[in-house]
């Protein structure tokens, strides 16, 4: 295969494999068929041997793992489009889940996620993010591995105990900032951070698998609960995209992509994102195509994606938009203006009239030129269009080639163990040091005078000698004065 059949307008509409890494956008209102288009693309890439990564926000994308059922409605659509080789079939699927409940656990380490994205996950302010930068710098210099939340908590405790010295060397570290980060760690730990941060960490080669028949494996991230934590969801997917960018080598334009990445609910990536983060996303999108990765954003409105990034998305599928509000009307205008013009279509008018399973489609054609937008009937997917049962999911998971690698957590020595061991040994070392500490000259002099006055086991001292003499002369007034005079002088008494 060197193309994916998307649907049919005045003519069949295809996505060419060699332009699959030129990125794309699937947009439209809720219930207009975005998920169906996403599944058609995922199946098509898989059949041509391209691995796919996608998130499952509503639970229906998991249907890719099961063959669909041919009914009258699907048969009618197949005949309308003229699909000659349509058969119901499943795709090779791996299920992933940050929480480890409905898929293999997805883990990464604190060190790999980095201070910038971690700060966004924790939703801390700029000052607290600066303290987090100092903590990572300190860990690097001290050779302390930050693998999980326990490691970060232990290092925060160390910084709190040595705050003055660290502030002098790296910059001000306030107790309030440390406390704020610690509270944020409690929150993210409760929301899934305890299982997300740790080892074994995800190896990206496991996302780029093909099955024995040469079909690309579709990696599906369960996100129905994760989507309730928008910053954690978007930061995780951005980290994944950034890591692919950092780890894959340059390959230029290939006959087909090495991996295709679908980013559902894409608006969450850019909501409240600081300028530096947006710039980073733009840089990744602009360059990652040369590493053989295609990125497809899926969202309700095309203007959910910033213009600098929107301009990089060559393949477009626009489902219906209902222009009920000024916001909707603006989105319709944006969608109409970003398509390659078709003199026979009034794009702004048609967008509001598209039915379920219909879309305005423009794909890159020869020499990378966008085709004029077509009013297109979207192909039905070959898989099940709906959720799967827990038993079916468990069956797919049992067949997974990576279950033994990721399902059991591991915990090697890192910052928590090292700092805990140092803290435990500190009191013993202090006691030993005190026992072995040599006496100073002042202490030695004090001991000499003590021995002289009070004596030792081998000889009597001045006090004992005077006491005995006093006993002998106790009857006399002079003896009583001597005794009181000597003892009073030693203990600070006054002579009377």
Min mean pLDDT across 51-55, 196-200, 325-329, 430-434 is at: 430-434
Percentage of the chain exceeding pLDDT 90 = 56
**Residue 435: Cβ within 10 Å count:** 7
| pLDDT above 90: residue 173 | yes
Judge whether 212 and 49 are in contact, CB under 8 Å.
no
Residues 6+ apart with CB under 8 A from 206: 94, 402, 405
Residues 6+ apart with CB under 8 A from 487: 463, 493
pLDDT at 389: 94
The predicted model gives 29-56 an average pLDDT of 95
Nearest to 129 by CA among 140, 117, 138, 141: 117
φ and ψ at residue 370, rounded to 5 degrees: -65, 135
The pLDDT confidence band at residue 297, using thresholds 50, 70 and 90, is: very high
**143: its two tokens:** 């050779």
pTM comes to 0.82
User: With 0-12 CB in 10 A as exposed, 13-18 as middle and 19+ as buried, what is 209?
Assistant: middle
**464: its two tokens:** 């004992």
Nearest to 265 by CA among 285, 242, 236: 236
φ and ψ at residue 73, rounded to 5 degrees: -65, -45
| pLDDT above 70: residue 475 | no
Per-residue model confidence as pLDDT tens digits over 58-109: 889 999 999 999 999 999 999 999 998 899 999 999 999 998 899 999 999 9
pLDDT at 468: 53
What is d(CA 443, CA 439) in angstroms, rounded to the nearest whole number?
A: 6
Nearest to 62 by CA among 455, 484, 383: 383
Min mean pLDDT across 230-234, 276-280, 388-392 is at: 276-280
Judge whether 258 and 250 are in contact, CB under 8 Å.
no
Percent of the chain as helix, strand, coil, to the nearest 5: 50, 15, 35
The predicted model gives 6-32 an average pLDDT of 94
The pLDDT confidence band at residue 426, using thresholds 50, 70 and 90, is: low
């Amino acid at each position: 295969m060197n193309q994916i059949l998307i649907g049919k307008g005045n003519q069949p509409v295809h996505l060419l494999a060699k332009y699959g890494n030129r990125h794309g956008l699937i947009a439209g209102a809720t219930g207009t068929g975005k998920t169906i288009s996403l599944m058609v693309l995922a199946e098509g890439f898989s059949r041509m041997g391209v691995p796919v990564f996608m998130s499952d926000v509503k639970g229906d994308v998991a249907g890719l793992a099961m063959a669909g059922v041919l009914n009258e409605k699907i048969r009618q659509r197949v005949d309308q489009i003229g699909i000659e080789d349509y058969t119901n079939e499943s795709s090779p699927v791996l299920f992933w889940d940050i929480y480890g409940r409905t898929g293999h656990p997805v883990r990464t380490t604190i060190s790999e996620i980095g201070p910038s994205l971690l700060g966004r996950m924790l939703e801390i302010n700029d000052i607290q993010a600066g303290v987090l930068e100092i903590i990572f710098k300190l860990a690097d210099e001290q050779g302390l591995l930050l693998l999980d939340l326990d490691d970060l908590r232990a290092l925060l405790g160390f910084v709190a105990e040595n705050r003055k010295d660290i502030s002098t060397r790296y910059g001000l570290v306030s107790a309030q900032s440390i406390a704020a980060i610690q509270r944020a760690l409690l929150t993210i730990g409760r929301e899934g951070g305890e299982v997300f941060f740790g080892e074994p960490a995800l190896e990206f080669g496991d996302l780029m698998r093909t099955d024995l028949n040469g079909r690309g494996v579709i990696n599906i991230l369960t996100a129905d609960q994760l989507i309730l934590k928008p910053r954690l969801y978007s930061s995780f997917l951005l980290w994944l995209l950034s890591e692919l960018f950092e780890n894959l080598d340059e390959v230029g334009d290939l006959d087909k992509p090495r991996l295709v990445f679908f980013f559902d609910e894409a608006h969450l990536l850019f909501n409240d994102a600081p300028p530096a983060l947006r710039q980073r996303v733009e840089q990744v999108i602009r360059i990652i195509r040369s590493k053989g990765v295609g990125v497809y954003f899926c969202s309700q409105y095309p203007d959910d994606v910033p213009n600098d990034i929107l301009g990089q998305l060559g393949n477009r599928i626009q489902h219906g938009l209902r222009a009920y509000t000024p916001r909707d009307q603006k989105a319709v205008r944006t969608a109409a203006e970003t398509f390659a013009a078709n003199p026979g279509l009034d794009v702004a008018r048609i967008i509001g009239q598209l039915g379920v399973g219909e879309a305005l489609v423009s794909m890159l054609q020869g020499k990378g030129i966008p085709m004029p937008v077509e009013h297109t009937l979207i192909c039905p997917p070959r898989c099940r269009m709906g959720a799967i049962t827990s038993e079916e999911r468990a069956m797919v998971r049992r067949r997974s080639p990576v279950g033994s690698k990721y399902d059991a957590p591991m915990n090697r020595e890192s910052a928590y163990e090292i700092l805990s061991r140092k803290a435990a040994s500190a009191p013993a070392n202090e006691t030993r040091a005190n026992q072995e500490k040599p006496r100073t000259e002042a202490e030695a002099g004090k001991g000499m005078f003590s021995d002289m006055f009070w004596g030792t086991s081998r000889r009597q001292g001045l006090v004992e000698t005077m006491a005995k003499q006093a006993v002998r002369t106790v009857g006399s007034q002079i003896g009583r004065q001597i005794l009181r005079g000597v003892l009073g002088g030693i203990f600070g008494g006054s002579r009377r």
